[in-house]
Amino acid sequence: MSTSKQLLTSVQVARFVAQGFLRLDGVVPQEINERAVATLTEGIPDVPYGTPLGKAFAQNTFVHELLALPVIAGAVESLVGPEPTVDHHAVHVREPHEGQAQPLHGDAIIDVRPDAFDIQLMYYPHEVTTEMGGTLSVPGSHLRRINETDVGRVQNLRGQTRLTCPAGTVVLVHHGIWHGGRRNDTARRRHMYKLRLNPTVPQVRLWDTSDLHDPAVTAELNTYFPWYEQATARLEIYNRVLLWRALTGDHSFDIDYWVTRVSNRPTLGSHS
């Protein structure tokens, strides 16, 4: 197995910008999965806010081994850079026959950064079936700013996804994604480990950009989702273009001139 980091492609990063998450199904070896379940059952110690990721976890921990996997290390570096810091981490457990679900929400307070984002790594060390209450998320919701449980009264949205996955799956999500843990209707506890990371470098062209001009990049960024309103959906595309410009440093990039047409500000004397 290669030990070098496997950076994301431009198409994958564009998919993340459009959808707000990126799935890596079954990428963690079973040995790490088994250690993780045992550790998460016992609980994990806190990591102080702002701790450099490279110093946050001892080498004999499952988290260190998880983050050292080339596919995980490469994806993390592609999104938040080579030296992110830990915001926080937590163990999320859905108890057997719990009888209730977590309301739809976005994490933390309103975050208005248009040119930067944190990622949350969500790791599922065992298989998650529909009956186990997988994490529900709303694709394309991450750039529509809300404050925590402001959308908690919403029960369902067209196009929402309810995660089912094999053991060893990692989902990297934009910090603004609308999500919530579903009810566990089985006799088995469901574990999920979450790690939020903050960038410490400008998030510009951190991935493998060899396919930067692939038409599939624009196709990903132009994706519409079923819950979008007809008019407001255009604002979602607009905000994606702004983020893509920030991530690539290409301030001429656009989709159907959504940003270009509203950025036109001729100055006095421009025709003299």
Which of these, 88, 79, 70, 237, lies nearest to 173 by C-alpha position? 79
**DSSP conformational letter for 151:** G
How does pLDDT run across 105-156, given as a tens digit for each residue? 888 767 777 789 999 999 999 999 989 888 889 999 999 988 888 888 887 8
Structure confidence at residue 96 (pLDDT): 82
How does pLDDT run across 196-232, given as a tens digit for each residue? 999 999 999 999 999 999 999 999 999 999 999 988 8
**pTM over cut 0.95:** no
Dihedral over Cα of 122, 92, 147, 140: its sign:
positive
* Long-range CB pairs of 37-42, under 8 A, 24+ apart, other chains included: 37/125, 37/126, 37/191, 40/91, 40/93, 40/125, 40/191, 40/193, 41/189, 41/191
Biggest CA pair distance of the chain: 77
The answer to whether 203 and 80 have CB atoms below 8 angstroms apart is yes
The answer to whether 24 and 171 have CB atoms below 8 angstroms apart is yes
Structure confidence at residue 1 (pLDDT): 45
- Integer Cα distance of 159 and 138 in angstroms: 7
* Long-range CB pairs of 238-243, under 8 A, 24+ apart, other chains included: 239/114, 239/143, 240/17, 240/18, 240/143, 242/114, 242/115, 243/17, 243/114, 243/115, 243/117, 243/143
Segments making up each domain of the chain, as ranges:
10-198
How does pLDDT run across 13-42, given as a tens digit for each residue? 999 999 999 999 999 999 999 999 999 988
Strand order in the sheet with 135-137: 161-162, 135-137, 179-181
Q: Taking the domain 10-198, which CATH number applies?
A: 2.60.120.620
